[in-house]
Amino acid sequence: MKIIHEEILEQTADSIESLSEDVFACATYQLLERKSDDQPAERVGSVLLYKIQNGESVKRLCTTKTNAILDMKWHRSSYQKILSTADSKGIVHFYSVVDDQLKEDNSLVLNEDALCLSVDWYKTHSPEKVAYSLSNGDLAIVQLTESGPELLNSWTGHTLEAWIVACDRVNENILYTGADDCLLKMWDLRMGTERASVTSKRHSMGVCSIQSHPKRDHVFCSGSYDENIIVWDNRAMKKPLSEFETGGGVWRLKWHPHGYDTLLAACMHNGFKVINYDNDLANPVLQSSYEKHESLAYGVDWCLDYEQQKNDNKDETVIASCSFYDKLLTVWKTEC
């Protein structure tokens, strides 16, 4: 393992999202001290854009001040790259990259009385749609139009904080959600939103991470405060394909974007893990760990070319990660 870059940030950090093999964003969430006992604490944040130079050094391109950010995701198409953020005031923002700077194009208030906790883009390219989850348990779908973002649908999906929403890679009618109520839900929007098509109680604590597999139809993974990663086939939800204990709450999960059966996990109090699976997605094996982050490993992503397997070296991969209280951003190379 080789460290390319280490940086102590100005604010506590909680999200990493890669745009490409050499550009990634890091988001922060800072809780300010109360000015008086009768005033709520203010939350502020930022989005930091970085460039990895020749795989050996890292340069910050820009700093964009925001409300506190809880999650963000890039949308990549042949004609545009858009970053959507979910913030502490229930607002979703949309940014484009212009001359190495983030330019805010639009925003939309989902709920002024709730935090927007997670975001995921639909995997179809046009029209662009985005799913969000909120701290009051609500779920929302937003569509980008020529006149700006429009709310298509919203409903109460969970009774407690909906930590995560994820879109199925193949079927745009399928959403996965997880919440502090310990429930993992699969929604088929063709059947309406009165109830989920599948509700799983397999996790024993809050479900805070979900991602659809980038190449395998029907496959997705979930992570929880119960310190377990579960890989599922959505056609047979009664029996998972595999389970893996991480030793820390699983805040984020990222499949290898080139379709390898390898997971990258942010495990809160137990660092970051790279986990390999066999062809049956069973028998998970820990490939490598990075535990230098001292507090709440939250944000992590592969720094790879997402459009194609260009110059792909599976044996040596660049990863960016961040942790909360120690404000540490790290870019490192590992084998996977």
Q: Region 111-132: what's the mean pLDDT?
A: 92
Closest CA to 264 of 313, 202, 320, 206: 320
Task: Please check whether residue 144 lies inside any domain of the structure.
Answer: yes
Q: Identify the residue with better confidence: 295 or 303.
A: 303
Q: What is the pLDDT of residues 154-212, one digit of tens each?
A: 999 999 999 999 999 999 999 999 999 999 999 999 999 999 999 999 999 999 999 99
Residue 101 β-bridge partners: 98
pLDDT of residue 306: 67
Which tokens belong to 197? Answer: 């098509």
Residues 50, 25 contacting (CB under 8 angstroms): yes
Return d(Cα 219, Cα 231) in angstroms, integer: 7
- Is residue 69 domain-resident? yes
Does residue 255 lie in a domain region? yes
53 belongs to a structural domain: yes
Cα 186 to the center of its chain, rounded Å = 18
Distances (CA, A) of 61 to 64, 95, 159, 192: 10, 15, 40, 43
- Kindly report the CATH number assigned to the domain that includes residue 28: 2.130.10.10
38 falls within a domain = no
H helix or E strand, kind and range, residue 77: none
Closest CA to 50 of 84, 88, 21, 79: 21
In a domain, 37, yes or no: no
| Domain membership flag for residue 283 | yes
Q: Confidence band (pLDDT; 50, 70, 90) for 308?
A: low
State the burial class of residue 225 (Cβ atoms within 10 Å of its Cβ: 0-12, 13-18, 19+): buried
Mean pLDDT of the chain: 94
User: SS3 of 170, please?
Assistant: coil
Q: Tell me which residue of 26, 6, 1 sits closest to 300, measured CA to CA.
A: 26
Domain count along the chain = 1
Say whether pLDDT at 99 is over 70: yes
In whole angstroms, give the CA distance from residue 148 to residue 119: 17
Of residues 114 and 259, more confidence is placed in 114
The proportion of the chain whose per-residue pLDDT surpasses 70, expressed as a percent, equals: 96
pLDDT category at 312 given cuts 50, 70, 90 is low
Residue 297 has pLDDT above 60, yes or no: yes
pLDDT band at 22 (very low <50, low <70, confident <90, very high): very high
Share of the chain above pLDDT 90, in %: 86
Burial label, 236 (beta-carbon count in 10 A; 0-12, 13-18, 19+): exposed
Provide the token pair at 60: 């910050």
Q: Which two tokens stand for residue 75?
A: 């949308």
Reported as a pLDDT band with limits 50, 70 and 90, residue 24 is very high
Parent domain of 108 = 2-32+43-335
Average of per-residue pLDDT across 126-151 = 95
Among the listed residues 198, 204, 194, the one whose alpha carbon sits nearest the alpha carbon of residue 176: 198
**Which residue do the tokens 């460290």 mark?**
3
The Cα–Cα gap between 252 and 297 comes to 9
Is residue 140 in some structural domain? yes
Residue listed under structure tokens 């330019």: 103
Burial class (CB in 10 A: 0-12, 13-18, 19+), 283: exposed
CA gap 221, 24 in Å, rounded: 23
Contact criterion met (CB below 8 Å) for 196 and 181 = no
Number of H helices, E strands in the chain: 0, 28
pLDDT band at 309 (very low <50, low <70, confident <90, very high): low
Q: Residue 16 in contact with residue 328, Cβ under 8 Å?
A: no
Distance between CA 149 and CA 85 in Å, rounded? 13
Would you state the pLDDT for residue 305? Answer: 77
